[in-house]
Amino acid sequence: MNKKTRGKATPFKRWPSPPEDKEKIDFGCVVEDKVTGFTGIVVARVVYNTGCVQYGVKQRVGDGGKMTGVEYIDEGELIVIAESKEELASTKHAEAPDGGIMADAPKR
């Protein structure tokens, strides 16, 4: 600290604004993680103050009929496999329970 800055408050630095939604992935799209090969349906979108965008991806119900949790994956790692409702309608999926608390929100 030098004599000129002694006793003066440093200016507040703002986080960068979130990125523009140029390539926003719509809810219900079938996506695949480029890194792990994880495939599922987009059910959530999270934009952090730092500008990081993640999507909540949920796998389809397995043969045992058991619901799986949501995996949050960075936007840059996702590839859209099917985006239209017609493409989704042609694939087999189980009925999901209606509404309620978002029990599988991102962990803090």
Average of pLDDT values for 45-53? 88
DSSP characters over the chain? --TTTTTPPPPPPPPPPPPP-TTPPPTT-EEEETTT--EEEEEEEEE-TTS-EEEEEEPPP-TT-PPP-EEEEEGGGEEEEE-SHHHHHTS--PPPPP----TTPPP-
For residue 71, the enclosing domain spans: 30-83
The answer to whether position 103 is within a domain reads: no
Structure token digits, residue 97: 């329970």
Q: Looking at residues 43-48, what average pLDDT do you find?
A: 91
Percent of the chain with pLDDT over 90: 31
Q: Is residue 102 part of a domain?
A: no
Is residue 4 assigned to a domain? no
Residue 61 in any domain: the answer is yes
Q: Is 54 within a domain? A: yes
- Summarised one tens digit per residue, pLDDT across range 63-72 is 777 778 899 9
The count of structural domains within the chain is 1
Q: Is residue 51 part of a domain?
A: yes
Q: What is the mean pLDDT of residues 42-56?
A: 90
Q: What is the pLDDT of residues 1-41, one digit of tens each?
A: 556 656 666 666 665 555 565 578 889 899 999 999 999 99
Q: Compute the distance between CA of residue 104 and CA of residue 44 in angstroms, rounded to an integer.
A: 10
